[in-house]
Amino acid sequence: MIEVVLIFLSYLIGSIPTSVWVSKYFFDIDIRDYGSGNAGATNTYRVLGKKWGTFVMIVDMLKGVIGTSLYIFLPQYLGSEHELGRTNFMIGLGLAAVLGHIFPIWAEFKGGKGVATLFGMAVAIQPLVALCCVGVFLLVLYLTRFVSLSSILAGVSFMVFILFIFNEQQLLYRVFAVLVALMIVLTHQKNIGRILKGTESKVPILKYRDRRRQKRQGIN
């Protein structure tokens, strides 16, 4: 019974619509009416700027960390001898937080895609894998400036790291890794379509690098 209560509490934590509340409180708009219409950090970055986009990303990630870490309120999961049960329960807690982010009860069940919250969940369960995924995300972002593509490849790499590189033996964790990859690809179908059409917007980073390239091309 306590496990069910904690899972529901994790859902409520995940349901905190960070970008929606920020946009309404500080800008008197609903972020879902602008840009891509998504209530996530990427759209906040595009519409409200780098400062607020970064703030939303950090808070959304913390939702995953905090929701997944609610297992600490159950002493039976704290011992090293209960690692399997603890990991399984953490996955349940984390998925509840991600579900809350995607379908937030505080924002008419219209939320974001859950990538930042999912990353927070991964940080709480296995920090090293999460760090590797961050590396993939940053590398792809540096090369392409597509946040969507960076998120997709980071999610797929999460599955690759769990199944093959770290060779995680827990069946539920392996299934979870596959579901993560599938979920991220499915929730980014529109982005994939825009990338293929060449209409996906890029984040305004590394603009000085791009200007230098353009100047070189002009000279040549």
Pick the closest to residue 125 from 186, 156, 166, 184 (CA basis): 166
Residues 38, 110 share a domain: yes
**Exposed, middle or buried, 177 (CB in 10 Å: 0-12/13-18/19+)?**
buried
How many H-runs (helices) and E-runs (strands) does the chain carry?
A: 11, 0
According to the model, what pLDDT value does residue 108 have?
A: 94
pLDDT in single tens digits along all 220 residues of the chain: 899 999 999 999 999 999 999 999 999 999 999 988 999 998 998 899 889 999 999 999 999 999 999 999 999 888 877 788 898 999 999 999 999 999 999 999 999 999 999 999 999 999 999 999 999 999 999 999 898 999 999 999 999 999 999 988 888 889 999 999 998 999 899 899 999 999 988 877 665 555 555 555 555 5
Residues 99, 118 share a domain: yes
Pick the closest to residue 19 from 8, 29, 11 (CA basis): 29
According to the model, what pLDDT value does residue 50 have?
A: 86
**For tokens 């792809």, what's the residue?**
140
According to the model, what pLDDT value does residue 79 have?
A: 81
62 located within any domain:
yes
The number of folded domains in the chain is 2
219 located within any domain:
no
| Final residue belonging to a domain, choices 110, 125, 140 | 125
| Final residue belonging to a domain, choices 79, 99, 125 | 125
According to the model, what pLDDT value does residue 13 have?
A: 98
Residues 120, 131 share a domain: no
Taking the alpha carbons of 87, 89, 92, 96 in that order, is the dihedral positive or negative?
A: negative
220 located within any domain:
no
Residues 116, 137 share a domain: no
Biggest alpha carbon distance in the chain?
70
218 located within any domain:
no
Q: Which domain holds residue 76?
A: 1-125
According to the model, what pLDDT value does residue 216 have?
A: 59
Residues 150, 100 share a domain: no
Distance CA 92, CA 149 (A): 27
Residues 109, 94 share a domain: yes
